[in-house]
Structure 1
């Protein structure tokens, strides 16, 4: 294998930073480098199998895909070789010399400074190749793309500093060879049993066999025989498969241990954390498929990137088709990991065919139901575990009612909220529990939306509900008001935003209260008309209210208008908000309102009206048009009060 002239290039700045951190900071979990290199080799084998479905000449008369590990104690080298898809010159430069799709920048942003925690990020960000420099002074790569001529091989080399070499090399076999020149202190990775244990720990379930030359003690014993005087026999070796290389999902559930399920999850997800739960099913009938679905315990860094790669690993009759097959689960379940293997999909299936195939649509329906059933079972039998799931993925699940009409009621049962009956801002109130606690005569599920939990908890609209002991859901996630626009009812109980429209408590108010309210409304007709005239540019209407007990006033949007929280979100995003004015409701029992009702000085009346209106804006989370004028008015009133 001869190498032509190579050229030197510099790494991108972010890669330099990453390599420095790899070498100097992330030592606590250094053994993961082998798992990452084997995973890359396995992916290369899977990609070749997929490409060869359309062009089997890519196998080059060698269809036995495999990975090989070799180590040389004298030269202190460890080599991982595969006969997978291989890389071209441009792919080598792109994948090994730049950020490309490695997620390096995001990885650097997530570092906390804690070695143990930071080292666990490696697998999550796809920067696994660079982890080789944790244990190696130098890394060499020789690769050739399947289907290309031997002379078109590529050589890459770096000592993990600021630059790398790349050039052309003669390579007879397709695939990639990664050779690590290990540091002096890393000789543990030149031990056969240490390497076997690492493969068993991290890569035992990959479908490609991992081969390694191991000591053949039986052959040595046979050569020695019964001759006790024959003290020394030359070491003998044999090439042996050191992983089980069985597709775990094809095995019977009863034969698989929990440890094996967790190990397989870590392999397919590149996640160091264990899964919360999983569901392994084989279905035969109209559809024939096997699925193994996992619910992660931690959210990935790119959870909120709706365009990020996601989905299940797809196999057809145990033949790998693609990673990240997103067609089998809706977007609001994008956190799920797993494998699906179906005999009903054609082997030459493409992404375009998958998107329009009726079988895929049926599989999506079945897998979505399976996932929701898993979550429902967890919520019922392991509420603490479900709370852990909700804290990580709850906001994503809230996208469900808008995206999946067929399962809207089922998703609603999985939602969790904070409420006036919880001790803190923890979202642990289920709608079913809320309905069971509803007051006699209560016909609606009440909620209030705000920009934060404290803002919701402090909303003046809650005052009458506190007085009557009626539970109200406190919504403070950005997605909440959008969610409620698609969630009209639960168990035949409609949702009601207490900050929208006129408040009607129905049977929760007695006839005497209603009669008193009517009398009060009539007594304050003159004042509401005066305020409406003064604020005609800012409010649609002014009326008395009985939803307030402590505050002088509050702002209410129309029943069918966009909520204040959604308006502020759209404005912050630079989008145009439909023009609408709120209604000002005043509390006739409040001393400030009563003082205004009896005020004869027109100038002071205008000052009081402005203060009451601006306070209502602040209490509702809105900013003031002229904060300085508000402060000036407050100071003037305080001075008048002080004489």
Structure 2
């Protein structure tokens, strides 16, 4: 060695130690997946070298034929995966190999189920693909040198799967990375040429650079001396980018394996769309809908987007400019001839072709989902259960496709008995009663609260269907959607009750009589609650409940206000309207109460109960308990 070794030992994070221990000491049902992960990493390294070589051609000139090589030594029990891609510097080695799943280790650990087969499927979802090597190896050596660096700047990383790893400088003549796995005794099967070739063919046939292994010569005939030949490598994969092939030549299994390669997912995708566009724009897209939601789905600023290629040259992993944020779960590849090779994120955001491609790909995804919903309702239901709340962000973000998105949305309603969101807006409109002009909905924290909401009582009595909205995004969604098929959305907990033509003459007469008869009571209640409410009025929206709270027409809904307050948002004061049901025995008893102090206590109890029924927290729970206890004691006198 002609360089100062400068060897250092480093410790993994505490959570990373747990994860590493899990990988090393658990028996996985799919051990062979480690090879796919390491080959994918090598392929990424080649892509990144191509990209950097666009501005620095000398980086590629050193060794222009990119390749991945796999070698094994059964006697020594080693398996080696090497590439001549971008390589790593010492700092990059520490950053990339020294911190397991640096963007989500804690979340990863929280999602472990204890079921080894299920837990194995998490590999690759947090950048831990490299560490899958420890499934089959009890020691891993990595030798690497970054493209453009001097041979003296080679780096050796070593880890035996314990709490520490070491890094030292070494003389390394080759650009790229060499990963040496010292196989465990129960993994010696991976030091076999036929086994390795079958795994590569299965998982990595689509990689755009050759994966090479030593050519296996036929054994010499009996009595003949074997011919001495220099070792010769041969490609064992097709080495053609799958998206460049005609759709008619690509099998479903190939599409599925390619998805697993680009997404590091173990499950097959729900569906995909492969299209070649020629004309004003020239590009190829291969888009997938996953069957598993990523753990960072609700982190709107997390890395997302398609793998971008320009004229088959890799540009970036997370090109977020080509799909709107509400479709951030879509995986895939975009290869365009109409974007400049020196493209940057800033240029992409302003480029007219980028906007045109984004619009086309967005419609492509929405059409793909529409076809899935009509072709296979069960598969679409799986999609909705995973990504439905994200899709509801669409109408606010993508006005031009608002109607398309609306047709894809699914909801629970008062006509369904379980929590499944499987009713479309088209289904709802098709079942609307004669004279019904609005799409009615109620917002709540969960299905049980929504289903038993007092606001539904008159709708249930009349058989009018109401959407049960339980996602946090729902109230925001309907505020931007406003209407569907010409039917406006109406929150049953806001404003005065309006059933339109569904309210017959008898209903109107009953309402007017209730308001007139309860006039004196309303004034008494208003006098007690004047500091707590905006107004008090009699209502016919209630059947079994004595009272409820409603928001004014122009006020924020109670659920949205509650969510924003919990998030620490400062909101202007907004007092609710208190509605009483004159036909309820409790309200009738209240009307007969002559003791004004007792009347005030009963009124405040009804107000607090209405608050609880709406899902709100009481400002002064102790006061509510005191009033209620006083009432209970009086009942026993």
Query: Offset at 1:28?
Result: 2.5
Determine the C-alpha separation between the residues in 2 that align with 1:230 and 1:387: 65
Determine the C-alpha separation between the residues in 2 that align with 1:491 and 1:562: 24
Change (3 A) 1:640 1:267: same
1:326 has 2:326 as partner: no
1:444 has 2:438 as partner: yes
1:134 has 2:135 as partner: yes
1:490 has 2:490 as partner: no
Specify the SS of the correspondent of 1:335: coil
In structure 2, what is the equivalent of residue 416 of structure 1?
Answer: 410
Query: Offset at 1:101?
Result: 3.7
In structure 1, what is the equivalent of residue 555 of structure 2?
Answer: 561
Query: Offset at 1:468?
Result: 0.1
1:595 has 2:589 as partner: yes
Whether the aligned pair in 1 keeps the contact of 2:12 and 2:163 (CA below 8 Å) is yes
Q: Number of residue pairs matched?
A: 636
Determine the C-alpha separation between the residues in 2 that align with 1:236 and 1:150: 27
TM-score normalised by length of structure 2: 0.97
* Deviations 1:567-610, CA, capped at 9 Å, x for gaps: 11111111112211111111011111111222222222112211
* Deviations 1:394-415, CA, capped at 9 Å, x for gaps: 0111111111111111111111
Alignment of 1:165-244 (within 5 A): 165-217=166-218, 220=219, 224=221, 229-230=223-224, 238-244=232-238
In structure 2, what is the equivalent of residue 388 of structure 1?
Answer: 382
* Deviations 1:171-195, CA, capped at 9 Å, x for gaps: 1211011111112222101100000
Change (3 A) 1:630 1:9: closer
Change (3 A) 1:626 1:350: closer
In structure 2, what is the equivalent of residue 526 of structure 1?
Answer: 520
Change (3 A) 1:613 1:14: closer
Alignment of 1:233-382 (within 5 A): 238-382=232-376
In structure 2, what is the equivalent of residue 433 of structure 1?
Answer: 427
Query: Offset at 1:640?
Result: 3.1
1:41 has 2:42 as partner: yes
Determine the C-alpha separation between the residues in 1 that align with 2:10 and 2:325: 40
Determine the C-alpha separation between the residues in 2 that align with 1:487 and 1:451: 20
Specify the SS of the correspondent of 1:640: helix
* Deviations 1:254-300, CA, capped at 9 Å, x for gaps: 11111111011111111000000001111111111111100001101
Determine the C-alpha separation between the residues in 2 that align with 1:129 and 1:102: 15
In structure 1, what is the equivalent of residue 462 of structure 2?
Answer: 468
Whether the aligned pair in 2 keeps the contact of 1:95 and 1:102 (CA below 8 Å) is no
Query: Offset at 1:159?
Result: 1.2
Specify the SS of the correspondent of 1:22: helix
Determine the C-alpha separation between the residues in 1 that align with 2:528 and 2:189: 83
In structure 1, what is the equivalent of residue 68 of structure 2?
Answer: 67
Whether the aligned pair in 1 keeps the contact of 2:101 and 2:127 (CA below 8 Å) is no
Q: What stretches of structure 2 of length at least 5 have no aligned partner? A: none
Query: Offset at 1:88?
Result: 0.5
Whether the aligned pair in 1 keeps the contact of 2:454 and 2:548 (CA below 8 Å) is yes
The one of 391, 397, 404 equivalent to 2:391 is 397
In structure 2, what is the equivalent of residue 453 of structure 1?
Answer: 447
* Deviations 1:39-86, CA, capped at 9 Å, x for gaps: 111110000011111111111332211100011122211111101001
Query: Offset at 1:3?
Result: 6.6
The one of 469, 479, 484 equivalent to 2:473 is 479
Query: Offset at 1:528?
Result: 0.5
In structure 2, what is the equivalent of residue 16 of structure 1?
Answer: 17
Whether the aligned pair in 2 keeps the contact of 1:571 and 1:577 (CA below 8 Å) is yes
- Does 543-552 or 103-112 show the bigger shift? 103-112
Determine the C-alpha separation between the residues in 1 that align with 2:138 and 2:628: 70
TM-score normalised by length of structure 1: 0.96
Query: Offset at 1:507?
Result: 0.8
